[in-house]
Structure 1
């Protein structure tokens, strides 16, 4: 495992994300598959991963509880916990923080984040007192390092950076967003400030694990034994300001492959980066909506549409054709259907990718007519 220095610490460059743990599903609900998830944690610990990321709302609140149980058999100094406060999940920041310490079975949090900064939440985080409260918790030793994750505009991002002396930031960083979003601008701002970066969505919620046939062909020709995920990770390894790359690994094979990728110093050459960008341009032509399946849009949908499921169908429809979509729509298990969408726009207001969901639902509904 490669390690990078963060102040006095040595952090594993691969971090374990706990938003997409394996689950056991029933007809009405799903819960973390604790046995399989524990195997993943144990493998990570045995192979040098020491950064574990979670949040108050992940897996409907089960993620922090599971992680506290999974890590308690290890020496507390052998790992670092990162968790977050999201004002939209529960605005009572004092109660949330107290509960998080209890869930995680710890007296302190190593890396604490203001969660999912957006243009709509920045003022609330500041004016309602949560940021100042967490600054005080840091002074008291209950938080070791304070940062924030962001899905905000560059203007909001820079304003929030000025509010206090942050220890780190967490940004969505992958080669797709580097080319087509404002990720590169965010990175350059942080690099200029010498602010360490934790990477989220390095493969865009799994979207970059499998590319279009033509895009993959270009990359496989150069390195037949590299997976699409390893291309994404090796590109990020070029970036000197990145300290930890989070990966939400949901099975043992994923973590084995990722640990192998982060066990050497190999990163893309300039020529390989140019090839990856060319493949990405090819891929983008076949990608319609950049959903990462974060599910922030789901809880407030008034007609209970499983929006990520239908966005995935939509993307496949754009690459595989109408008949695929018609068959997939028939099999979808969502309570709400595209034709039930009332175009209220709540989902888009909560979407970090700013996807025009109502238009997608309209198009899918028309496919079934």
Structure 2
């Protein structure tokens, strides 16, 4: 196992994420405890010492399951991370209640790592609102030794991330972002890495294989990579991350023992990409995006013609993201911060925007489809 230095600690470069644990009969709320404990036992044996869970994973049962599995080992033999669930705005006034319950669910007296969960457009105002006292409470727990290291995760825009960093950046010890070769440009991951580097904040990675999307590729793309070096397709995604300075922790939500074994094998050695290999991966990412993404250049000719004054380039960017993933939670969270009259459903289909679009995008059809996809 490769290890990374972090404030005097040796962290396994690969961490086990507890968002996609094995389940019974496809029921996400019903974790297969025996299979989970088998995975944790293997991970511990092979040198993984970082385990990441959260309040909402597996409908509230992930913290319990991972706590039971880790409870078989000495407390100083692993690092445990959890998060304050600000993705649900009804939790904003419950930081103390939730934190105490999390410790109880995990069966521990402290968290080694604790995060503001998913800072995004929907919750940034709440996170920054001193009336909720979230920051003050978590800093107090850090002072009391119940949080060893405090950080944040984010799926938000660059602007939202900058707002959070401006407010609390000097107190953040690490940041967890969605980072992989598909999102290097598509989700502005490169710029986020650069922002964190300027603040000297180490990078924690989530979605290294994009929820499994990068675990297999089209045959022609696999052939391109095979001609460059002998690696499994998932391993290419991890080698990409090993090439980026500042990446300290890579979290993978492995849902069976085989995935765990394969990823641990990848992390027995560090094999960063050379320039040709790096460019090949980004070229493959471009092709993948072009297959689903509308070619909006954000020229904004359309916005001047829209009678509803919709921010069409922004909505298209969210539409493109929503179509690129099977998870589909980023766009709804971003749109939660957008007024109802500015949502995709507000488009009246007048096509005035399409008359001036240099890319000849059928915007009205895209907005109608987006609105349909967003329906529960």
User: Structure 2-normalised TM-score?
Assistant: 0.77
Q: Which residue matches 1:213?
A: 219
Superposed displacement of residue 361, structure 1: 7.4
Q: Which residue matches 1:145?
A: 149
Could you tell me how far apart the structure 1 residues matched to 2:244 and 2:109 are? 33
Whether 1:13 and 2:17 are equivalent positions in the alignment is no
| Structure 2 gap segments, 5+ residues each | 294-322, 334-343, 348-365
1:338-357 equivalent positions in 2, closer than 5 A: none
Could you tell me how far apart the structure 2 residues matched to 1:62 and 1:264 are? 33
CA contact (8 A) 2:29 2:59 kept: no
Q: Which residue matches 2:79?
A: 80
Q: Which residue matches 2:185?
A: 179
Superposed displacement of residue 357, structure 1: 9.1
Structure 1 counterpart SS, 2:73: coil
CA contact (8 A) 1:215 1:280 kept: no
Could you tell me how far apart the structure 2 residues matched to 1:13 and 1:163 are? 29
Structure 2 counterpart SS, 1:163: helix
Superposed displacement of residue 15, structure 1: 0.5
Superposed displacement of residue 229, structure 1: 1.1
Q: Which residue matches 1:161?
A: 165
Structure 2 counterpart SS, 1:59: helix
Q: Which residue matches 1:98?
A: 100
CA contact (8 A) 1:201 1:247 kept: yes
Could you tell me how far apart the structure 2 residues matched to 1:228 and 1:134 are? 40
CA contact (8 A) 2:81 2:112 kept: yes
Could you tell me how far apart the structure 1 residues matched to 2:18 and 2:99 are? 18
Aligned residues: 311
Q: Which residue matches 2:362?
A: none
Could you tell me how far apart the structure 2 residues matched to 1:30 and 1:163 are? 36
Could you tell me how far apart the structure 2 residues matched to 1:363 and 1:36 are? 34
1:1-369 equivalent positions in 2, closer than 5 A: 1-25=1-25, 30-89=29-88, 90-91=91-92, 92-127=94-129, 128-164=132-168, 165-223=171-229, 225-287=230-292, 289-291=323-325, 293=327, 359=369, 362=372
Superposed displacement of residue 194, structure 1: 1.5
Structure 1 counterpart SS, 2:117: strand
Could you tell me how far apart the structure 1 residues matched to 2:119 and 2:74 are? 32
Could you tell me how far apart the structure 2 residues matched to 1:93 and 1:16 are? 25
CA contact (8 A) 2:17 2:52 kept: yes
Could you tell me how far apart the structure 1 residues matched to 2:330 and 2:156 are? 15
CA contact (8 A) 2:21 2:253 kept: yes
Could you tell me how far apart the structure 1 residues matched to 2:53 and 2:213 are? 21
CA contact (8 A) 2:176 2:206 kept: yes
Deviations 1:136-178 (A, max 9, x none): 1111111000000011221221121122311111111111111
CA contact (8 A) 1:126 1:132 kept: no
CA contact (8 A) 1:172 1:201 kept: yes
Structure 1 counterpart SS, 2:109: coil
Compare CA radii of gyration and give the structure with the larger one: 2
User: Structure 1-normalised TM-score?
Assistant: 0.78
CA contact (8 A) 2:40 2:69 kept: yes
Residues 237 and 29 of structure 1: is their aligned pair in 2 closer, same or farther, counting only changes over 3 Å? closer
Residues 148 and 357 of structure 1: is their aligned pair in 2 closer, same or farther, counting only changes over 3 Å? farther
Superposed displacement of residue 93, structure 1: 1.1
Could you tell me how far apart the structure 2 residues matched to 1:362 and 1:94 are? 38
